[in-house]
Amino acid sequence: MSRDTEWRRVRVIWDYSIARLEAGIAAPYAAQPMDSDAFAAFYQRSARSLWAYLARVCGNPALADDLMQEAYLRFLGVPHLPDGEVACRRYLFRIATNLLRDHWRSPRTSSIDELPETLFAVGSGSDASDAQLMLGPAMAQMGPRDRQLLWLAYAEDYTHNEIAEITGLRSTSIRLLLFRARRKMARLLRNKTSAERGCA
Amino acid sequence: MMLGQCAREKDVMALLRSGGWPAACEPELREHVEGCSLCAQTVLLKSSFADALAHAKDEARLQAPGMLWWRAQLRRRNAAVQRVNRPIAGAQWFALLINLLAAVALLASQWRHLDRIAAWFSGIANGPVFHPATLWAMAEQQPGWNLMILIPFIVAFVVLGGITVYLASER
């Protein structure tokens, strides 16, 4: 390709990009991967699960709101989304997990370990289920990574490979970490149950 | 058997996921769960987390997806504008660098004649043309000179004002 032809091609791309930007349309290299209706449907199907994950792992509903919004904004900013809703959903959880990690690493925010236990405990109102009343305090005694692993495995039913993809850990590590986490969680839940029975 | 896994765990999990536990569970599997600590753990955790998930889903406060979509579009557009502006900013810095280098090169080449240039400048500054009083007196004598002084001032004011407004709006 001659220099003149190359220059003309660059000029055409440049003029086209400027014209589209002035018209308020995104540049062609940033094509929207999902249209508005498809996103609305995907949001309705995935948002509640994502919020539940964020709220139960970080223990702060307001923070979960912010992180969920940021997760969807980043999700929509990805130029090439994976094919299929299951893969998109997994990708969304991965973004949310990274946001949680960034939040905990940020020096301005308090560490998850410093959060008061009351954040994880649900209200004692009549709408709180028995399992929820047991799970909240038990979750508060787990580390943040254990909370993530347990939620992904037992609330979202993800396999070890999928959890590895979401958290960025190795699949072989997930097996061991999850084994320890679930043993500790089961012990905490049993202790809570036996303590409640003792009180009754 | 692998670490932390029981051969019947998959059956138990399948029942729990389908909502068949404990009603649709075979007595043999239930007996196994009562005797197997791993499967008992699985039942305890899965049922606790499933209840917690259902409860948390009810608590979720969702935004309008259209609002998120609009904000994402805005963010993408800003990112695209930044990407387009990046080479322009680079070219501006490059031009500034070239100008500075040219100025330095000119000064270096004229260094030997600097005293003569300074003398020339001081001669102009001390001359009668650049004294406002002299200019005003000349303008009073010749009516056309009023405009000759006024028009450049107005033009300079308009040009500089326009540049200032443009730069302020850019920021």
Q: Is residue B22 part of a domain?
A: yes
In angstroms, what separates the C-alpha of B44 from chain A's closest C-alpha? 7
Q: Is residue B75 part of a domain?
A: no
pLDDT at residue A116, as a whole number: 47
pLDDT at residue B160, as a whole number: 87
Cα(B4)–Cα(A154) distance, rounded to whole angstroms? 15
pLDDT at residue A20, as a whole number: 53
Q: Tell me which residue in A51, A155, A185 faces B50 most closely, judged by beta carbons.
A: A155
- Of residues B77 and B108, more confidence is placed in B77
pTM of the full predicted structure? Answer: 0.65
Domain count for chain B? 2
| Same domain membership, residue B98 and residue B44 | no
| Same domain membership, residue B93 and residue B37 | no
Q: Does A77 touch chain B (CB under 8 A)?
A: yes
| Burial of B130 (C-beta count, 10 Å sphere; 0-12/13-18/19+) | exposed
Q: Is residue B79 part of a domain?
A: no
Q: Is residue B77 part of a domain?
A: no
CB contact under 8 A, A131 and B76: no
Question: Which residues on chain A are in Cβ contact (under 8 Å) with B47?
Answer: 131
Tens digits of residue pLDDT in A26-45: 444 444 567 889 999 999 99
| Same domain membership, residue B44 and residue B105 | no
Q: Which residues contact B5 (CB under 8 A, 6 or more apart)?
A: B38
Q: Which residues contact A19 (CB under 8 A, 6 or more apart)?
A: none
Q: Tell me which residue in A36, A47, A135 faces B52 most closely, judged by beta carbons.
A: A135
Q: Collapsing DSSP states into helix, strand and coil, what is residue A168?
A: coil
Q: Is residue B141 part of a domain?
A: yes
| Same domain membership, residue B114 and residue B54 | no
Q: Does B72 touch chain A (CB under 8 A)?
A: yes
CA distances A23 to A17, A26, A27, Å, are: 10, 9, 10
Q: Is residue B80 part of a domain?
A: no
Q: Is residue B90 part of a domain?
A: yes
Cβ atoms of residues B16 and B44 within 8 Å: no
| Same domain membership, residue B164 and residue B95 | yes
| Same domain membership, residue B113 and residue B46 | no
Question: Which domain range does residue B116 map to?
Answer: 86-170
Tens digits of residue pLDDT in A32-91: 567 889 999 999 999 999 999 999 998 888 999 999 999 999 999 888 888 888 999 999
Q: Is residue B70 part of a domain?
A: no
pLDDT at residue B136, as a whole number: 67
Cα(B12)–Cα(B53) distance, rounded to whole angstroms? 19
Lowest-confidence region among A154-163, A180-189, B90-99, B136-145: B136-145
| Same domain membership, residue B53 and residue B108 | no
| Same domain membership, residue B101 and residue B38 | no
Cβ atoms of residues B18 and B51 within 8 Å: no
Tens digits of residue pLDDT in B72-82: 999 989 988 88
CB contact under 8 A, A30 and B50: no
Judged against a pLDDT cut of 80, whether residue B84 lies above it is answered with yes
What is the ipTM for the molecules in this complex? 0.71
Cβ atoms of residues A47 and B60 within 8 Å: yes
Question: Which residues on chain A are in Cβ contact (under 8 Å) with B60?
Answer: 47-48, 51-52, 55
Cα(A31)–Cα(A12) distance, rounded to whole angstroms? 18
pLDDT at residue A30, as a whole number: 42
Question: Which residues on chain B are in Cβ contact (under 8 Å) with A176?
Answer: 3
